[in-house]
Chains A and B, each alone.
Chain A
Amino acid sequence: MSAKERLYQGADWDFATLQRIHDACEGIATTELGLSFYPNQIEVITAEQMLDAYASGGMPLFYRHWSFGKHFAHHETFYRKGLRGLAYEIVINSDPCISYLMEENTATMQALVIAHAAFGHNHFFKNNYVFRQWTDAEGILDYLSFAKSFIAHCEERYGQTAVERTLDAAHALMSHGIFRYPSKKRQDLRSEQRRERERRLHEERVFNDLWRTVPTGPSKTASELSAERRRTLLGLPQENILYFLEKSAPRLQSWQREILRIVRLIGQYFYPQRMTKVMNEGTATYVHYRIMTTLHERGQITDGNFIEFLQSHTNVVFQPGFDDPRFSGFNPYALGFSMMQDIERIVSDPTDEDRAWFPDIAGRGDVMGVLRDVWANYRDESFIGQFLSPALIRQMRLFHLHDDPNEPRGVTVEAIHNERGYRRVRQELAQEYDVGYRDTNIEIVDVDLAGDRRLSLRHVIGAGGVLEPTQAQRVLQHLADLWSYDVLLTETDGADSVVKEYVAKPQAGLIAA
């Protein structure tokens, strides 16, 4: 190969280089890997802008809140001290798919990042079913810009403190503002702004002061409105706490309801990312590995570039053992990438064990076909639950620990990488990645409408253990402030017996009028 056909020389790059790299990667992605993706938009940014993006969940624009300032300061301190490097890229699930590249990266790093983000993640965002079901890639940027201006507008109109308090409370409940079961209608963030305006106009139109003066007659007694019927009217039990508050909190202003809605919808947008960490990174890592290798085979990058790539790549997919001081849980890149490679091995060169465990895919030969299907139709929990092979369990030497507080002697080793242990290890690991299992199971069960309007919540403990008390009390305080009457949270075990109770009283006038 002559030097002419190389994509770039040395470490320097300019926009023409990026264009060449992108086109070369695109060719490989569409023909060899058969990926389909949103059009790409590549944005070159500085380190400071990268820190900015970090602080707001990786989004290019976000509403203003002190907690983002806190996160920014946190990251910045670490970065300035050199304790932590920055991510090489950030990619946004939008259409067109936006990837940020840092200007400090070398040409090889840019190639790696383009292959990783602009094709790997991009394909995953477009094709994986949870993203298709839950997020609206076309609308997200418009919606964020609406949210930002709406909240700035509220700050102007109702004061910074009031807005901040509402946001604080909403953020505390963000993880409980998610619909876990998809509705028939797809999310349409674009029309959110129009709908907000319509809601307000409707309220203004139907407002008539006369209604206040109409005599209502004796109110229904508690017995008339049976508990069952009351709960049905309020849509109880309800696990989406923010949604319930938005619709039913008695004393919130309409702008406060809109803020709850914004926080809830943004939480919903990030929900699929939480469900697919391992798969998403595994896909992107596998794609960049394939693309970079092909570029090297074709002579479009030099041996030196390829070594530089391998060095970053191995850093990214490094998984230290549990007793290593660098260990901090599973590295999703490492686990995801190993599993993708393992599937490739099973499909193209299976052992007898693989044939027994994976009769559907073992030896099918069409690696990309199988992988594309996996990428489209699984999330972390089901992916690990079905595709973690005994070979990989042995290779990573996985084992399962059970820590029971009632066992004074210590922690038990429940399963290791042997015939008896494979299924149990796999099941346990899959469960760790199940957001439904990881998140606390809390739902609103009742409201005492006839009495003091106390809101009752229930936490079913299950296998996960009780709530952390100080945090729980603080969140509950926020919830009480939004609800503006007392709130009761009971923790019950499987047999419905109460283990612990929390009560919070609203602070007068803090949030709701």
Chain B
Amino acid sequence: MQIVDRRLNPGGKSLENRQKFLRRAKALMQRAVRESSEKKDIKDVLEGGEVRVPLDGLSEPSFQRSARPRDMVLPGNKNFSEGDILPRPEEGGGGSPSGPGEGDSEDDFRFVLTREEFLNFFLDDLELPDLAKRRLAETETEGVRRAGFTTSGSPANISVSRTVQLAMARRVALRRPNPATIAALEAEIADSDADRQAELLAEIDTLKARMKRIPYIDPIDIRYRRFENEPRPVTQAVMFCLMDVSGSMSEHMKDLAKRFYMLLYVFLRRRYKRVEIVFIRHTDRAEEVDEETFFRGPASGGTLVSSALETMRDIIKTRYRASDWNIYAAQASDGDNPQSDGETTASLLSHSILPACQYFAYLEVGEELEPFDMPSSTLWTLYEYLQNRGAPLSMRKVYSRNEIFPIFRDLFQRRSVQAKVSA
């Protein structure tokens, strides 16, 4: 008998099968992930978890008999006698026992996704629009590439083949005697007369001296591999998150706005390693804050949308020149803004912000039970006007939590996908 300990064998043997399965079930998974995320809290969504996938399309068909007519032998008879007729159990009541081997029901299929897999499905067809428009020639990262050979360098970089090649060329050019020649002469000494012997010895001495003068490998033969740093252009992008935290925003509205930004934040962090994010929150004055304050810090006060836009404009001017950066902005507000501020806002937007922006998303949050015939808010009217004039602006209204995901998708859906949908 032989005992083999397999416990230390690499695990994850079925990982490849799992990936094949996920690939196969991709469309189904995406739908399932979307459906399940609508019901869940944002934090839970980002944790991944169980999704239900309908088995259809993943079925493995085989020839089977339909249920009837059917005979079966069962154990545990209590009071039946031959010839009794028993009423059939209700269809779908689960009363009818299923035979062995029929265990695989055609129900939904439950599947646990890891966080990583879940987010991949969740964010799969989202992207920032027009990202490739402005590319930077400036060095942002440095890559390394090979650049021929050099005579100096670190010993780790010695190129043996090149060195040996050069050494051989030099040896041939300078006619370094071949050790085989010397060996042949030495062999000849043994069976030749005295005169010849002296002659041969002299010749061997010259050859040996010559061999000593011309070394096998000379320091001048040595070559090192050379590497050069190479600048690689990258796309630079910045996302401005503008959030209204004024008193007119109810807890519910703030919650909606924060959920939206949380999603945006996760999306950008996962998809674009080098996108910078600027958080601006405003009441009647605006401040740039860090993400912790943005998502968790309490604040309240009046409303002045232009203050946030001014701050944004100033930041763009000082830190993100529009010629060098792809600029995106997402704004969330309840749409309340004093009439007096309207003009300032409009001019800020149309003169300095929108021309600099690649894409501007505006999210208007409202109470859950907002009456439908509410007149459009001041901001909404203004933005609608700008949008009609061709500004790169998208606007959506959101009233309840479960709308956040669809609207977020809607705003950041990959353009080609959208085009397909409309086609």
User: A332–B99 Cα gap in the complex (Å)?
Assistant: 12
The segment from A36-44, A228-236, A352-360 found at the interface with B is: A36-44
Interface string of A162-178 (1 = CB under 8 A from B): 00100010011011100
Q: Are A440 and B82 in contact (CB under 8 A)?
A: no
Q: How far is the CB of B17 from chain A (nearest CB, A)?
A: 3
Q: How far is the CB of B323 from chain A (nearest CB, A)?
A: 45
Given contacts A69-B21, A171-B60, whether A396 and B75 have CB atoms under 8 Å apart is yes
For residue A176, which residues in chain B have a CB less than 8 angstroms away from its CB? 63
Q: Are A42 and B2 in contact (CB under 8 A)?
A: yes
Question: Which residue of B is nearest A160, CB measured?
Answer: B20
For residue B98, which residues in chain A have a CB less than 8 angstroms away from its CB? 328-329
For residue A284, which residues in chain B have a CB less than 8 angstroms away from its CB? none
Q: Are B21 and A175 in contact (CB under 8 A)?
A: no
Given contacts A41-B4, A103-B7, A413-B86, whether A172 and B100 have CB atoms under 8 Å apart is no
For residue B60, which residues in chain A have a CB less than 8 angstroms away from its CB? 67, 168, 171-172
For residue A407, which residues in chain B have a CB less than 8 angstroms away from its CB? 85
Interface string of B55-96 (1 = CB under 8 A from A): 000111111111111111111111011111111100000000
Q: Are A397 and B75 in contact (CB under 8 A)?
A: yes
Partner of B97 from the list A175, A328, A420 (CB cut-off 8 Å) is A328
User: A69–B23 Cα gap in the complex (Å)?
Assistant: 11
The segment from A135-143, A208-216, A296-304, A424-432 found at the interface with B is: A424-432
User: A416–B81 Cα gap in the complex (Å)?
Assistant: 6
For residue B100, which residues in chain A have a CB less than 8 angstroms away from its CB? 328-330, 332
User: A40–B87 Cα gap in the complex (Å)?
Assistant: 52
For residue B99, which residues in chain A have a CB less than 8 angstroms away from its CB? 329, 432
* B111: interface (CB < 8 Å): yes
Interface string of A412-455 (1 = CB under 8 A from B): 11111110110001001101100000001010000000000000
Partner of B20 from the list A56, A65, A402, A415 (CB cut-off 8 Å) is A65
Give B382-414 interface residues, CB cut-off 8 Å to A. none
Q: How far is the CB of A445 from chain B (nearest CB, A)?
A: 16
For residue B25, which residues in chain A have a CB less than 8 angstroms away from its CB? 66
Given contacts A73-B111, A322-B97, whether A15 and B17 have CB atoms under 8 Å apart is no
Q: How far is the CB of B253 from chain A (nearest CB, A)?
A: 39
Question: Which residue of A is nearest B58, CB measured?
Answer: A70
User: A474–B60 Cα gap in the complex (Å)?
Assistant: 9
Partner of B65 from the list A330, A421, A440 (CB cut-off 8 Å) is A440
Q: Are A475 and B62 in contact (CB under 8 A)?
A: yes
Partner of B71 from the list A416, A428, A469 (CB cut-off 8 Å) is A428
Q: Is the interface of B mostly helix, strand, loop or mixed?
A: loop
Name the residue in B14, B59, B64 with the highest tally of chain A Cβ atoms < 10 Å from its Cβ. Answer: B14
User: How many residues from B make CB contacts under 8 Å with A?
Assistant: 63
Q: Are B74 and A413 in contact (CB under 8 A)?
A: no
Name the residue in B7, B20, B62, B81 with the highest tally of chain A Cβ atoms < 10 Å from its Cβ. Answer: B62
* B13: interface (CB < 8 Å): yes
Given contacts A73-B111, A174-B62, A468-B64, whether A330 and B7 have CB atoms under 8 Å apart is no
Question: Which residue of A is nearest B8, CB measured?
Answer: A46
Partner of A327 from the list B80, B85, B97 (CB cut-off 8 Å) is B97
For residue A327, which residues in chain B have a CB less than 8 angstroms away from its CB? 76, 97
Q: How far is the CB of A309 from chain B (nearest CB, A)?
A: 21
Interface string of B120-133 (1 = CB under 8 A from A): 00000000000000
User: How many residues from A make CB contacts under 8 Å with B?
Assistant: 100
Question: Which residue of A is nearest B20, CB measured?
Answer: A66
User: A118–B60 Cα gap in the complex (Å)?
Assistant: 33
Question: Which residue of A is nearest B24, CB measured?
Answer: A66
For residue A481, which residues in chain B have a CB less than 8 angstroms away from its CB? none
* A48: interface (CB < 8 Å): yes
Question: Which residue of B is nearest A15, CB measured?
Answer: B3
Question: Which residue of B is nearest A60, CB measured?
Answer: B6
Q: Are A49 and B11 in contact (CB under 8 A)?
A: yes
User: A440–B62 Cα gap in the complex (Å)?
Assistant: 10
Q: Are B73 and A429 in contact (CB under 8 A)?
A: yes
For residue A172, which residues in chain B have a CB less than 8 angstroms away from its CB? 60-62
Give A327-371 interface residues, CB cut-off 8 Å to B. 327-330, 332
For residue B84, which residues in chain A have a CB less than 8 angstroms away from its CB? 412-413
Given contacts A328-B98, A398-B75, A405-B68, whether A19 and B1 have CB atoms under 8 Å apart is yes
Q: Are B112 and A73 in contact (CB under 8 A)?
A: yes
Partner of A432 from the list B65, B72, B82 (CB cut-off 8 Å) is B72
* A194: interface (CB < 8 Å): no
* B317: interface (CB < 8 Å): no
* A411: interface (CB < 8 Å): yes
* A192: interface (CB < 8 Å): no
Name the residue in A73, A324, A420, A432 with the highest tally of chain B Cβ atoms < 10 Å from its Cβ. Answer: A73
* A204: interface (CB < 8 Å): no
For residue B50, which residues in chain A have a CB less than 8 angstroms away from its CB? 77
Partner of B73 from the list A398, A404, A464, A467 (CB cut-off 8 Å) is A398
Q: List 19 A-B contacts (CB under 8 A).
A: A19-B1, A22-B1, A42-B4, A44-B6, A52-B13, A67-B21, A77-B112, A320-B76, A322-B76, A323-B78, A398-B73, A400-B73, A401-B73, A404-B68, A405-B69, A412-B83, A412-B84, A440-B63, A475-B62
Binding site for B on A (CB under 8 A): 15, 18-19, 22-23, 26, 39-46, 48-49, 51-52, 55-56, 64-70, 72-74, 76-77, 80, 96, 100, 103, 118, 160, 164, 168, 171-172, 174-176, 319-324, 327-330, 332, 396-405, 407, 409-418, 420-421, 425, 428-429, 431-432, 440, 442, 459, 463-472, 474-475, 478
Q: Which 7 A-B pairs have the closest CB atoms?
A: A321-B76, A69-B21, A329-B100, A69-B17, A474-B61, A322-B74, A66-B20
